[in-house]
Amino acid sequence: MSDLLPNCQLSDSKEGEESCPRPIHELLPLREAHIGAGLIIRRALPQRERRLIGAWCFLDHFGPLDLSKGGGLNIGPHPHIGLQTFTYLLEGSILHRDSLGSYQKIQPDQVNLMTAGKGIAHSEESLGGDVLHGVQLWIALPDEVRNIAPSFNHYPELPVHQQNSVQIRVLAGEYAGAIANPKIYTPLVGLHITSPEEAEIVLPIEPLFEYGVVVLKGVVSIDEHQPTLDELLYLGCGRGQLKVKLAANTHLLLIGGEPFKEEVLVWWNFVARSVDEISEATKDWQAGHRFGEVKGYQGMRLAAPPIPWESV
């Protein structure tokens, strides 16, 4: 994904949040944007009150989109630096192409992980099927690896832990001894939790991690708090367990991680440490340098928005 919201704002992780708050239940409204062809995205991260959860620095929940009405997701070539893009689908399929020559279809229950490092460009297009529904997250890379060579990996199978009727797919990190393969660089976790029938479970979690929950479908209660589809439930650190109640056919995404210690600047599709780095990456993209070419995509590359701190 690319930052497609109408106002592309600079997000500075230094501003206005505790590094590791105690256990809390903070309901934060998602920003909603219609990005054409009936596709709605709901942005959970970053937001003013909460820039990061561990190293997770961006979370878009997109769809469900009815593809039978035409159109679909169609995001032309655009650049990234300093992050990993992490795509996971509930329904439908997306074709990923990038400037390394990767050409990869992703389907439900799979992960696409693109490590941008010093720079990569990619495109994303929905393929056939009636519905598209998924999430894209970004993971901030820590300083020692944020300028590494770019890479792309597809993970067709993720481990699943079954707890009564509840299925817990480990998308990143570890849960109950099940370790997900996606290569990550800081301690974090991502879980897709679902149940075909009404269920209640106690989920053991890591007290040193901060956590957040986004409902992807259905109705959920977390320690008696009920985030809607339009809210992020931020939970802070310091908890050993979560009490989760799910209505039948509910899907939720739980993300967590060790609080990220470095200041992070996010603007458009770049994660950096200074506005100068972002300016340089933007100019390199506009000049056709650094990021390479995404071959085979039928359409225009995305232009960077004007850089707000350089405009008169």
Give the count of beta carbons closer than 10 Å to the beta carbon of residue 161: 15
Residue (58 or 175) nearer to Mn ion, CB: 58
- For the bound state, the minimum distance from the C-beta of residue 3 to Mn ion, rounded and expressed in Å, comes to 8
- For the bound state, the minimum distance from the C-beta of residue 102 to Mn ion, rounded and expressed in Å, comes to 13
- For the bound state, the minimum distance from the C-beta of residue 278 to Mn ion, rounded and expressed in Å, comes to 15
Degrees, nearest 5: CA angle 261-135-189: 40
| Cα 54 to Cα 191: distance, rounded to the nearest angstrom | 14
Query: What is the biggest distance separating any 2 CA atoms in the chain, rounded to whole angstroms?
Result: 60
- For the bound state, the minimum distance from the C-beta of residue 64 to Mn ion, rounded and expressed in Å, comes to 20
| Cα 232 to Cα 234: distance, rounded to the nearest angstrom | 6
Total number of residues that touch Mn ion (CB under 5 A): 2
Residue (137 or 213) nearer to Mn ion, CB: 137
CB under 8 Å to 298, separation ≥6 — which residues?
Answer: none
Q: 157-196: which residues touch Mn ion (CB under 5 A)?
A: none
Tokens matching residue 59: 């979370």
- For the bound state, the minimum distance from the C-beta of residue 75 to Mn ion, rounded and expressed in Å, comes to 7
Residue (2 or 11) nearer to Mn ion, CB: 2
| Cα 95 to Cα 194: distance, rounded to the nearest angstrom | 25
Residue (112 or 194) nearer to Mn ion, CB: 112
Q: Are strands 111-115 and 151-155 parallel, antiparallel or unpaired?
A: antiparallel
Residue (233 or 266) nearer to Mn ion, CB: 266
Tokens matching residue 306: 């004007």
Residue (84 or 194) nearer to Mn ion, CB: 84
- For the bound state, the minimum distance from the C-beta of residue 116 to Mn ion, rounded and expressed in Å, comes to 9
Q: 2-31: which residues touch Mn ion (CB under 5 A)?
A: 2
Nearest CA to 188 among 83, 117, 47?
83
Query: 27 near 212, Cβ under 8 Å?
Result: no
The contact mask relative to Mn ion for 281-300 (x = CB under 5 A, - = no) is --------------------
- Candidate ranges 1-9, 15-23, 177-185, 271-279; the one touching Mn ion (CB under 5 A): 1-9
Give the footprint of Mn ion on this chain (CB under 5 A): 1-2
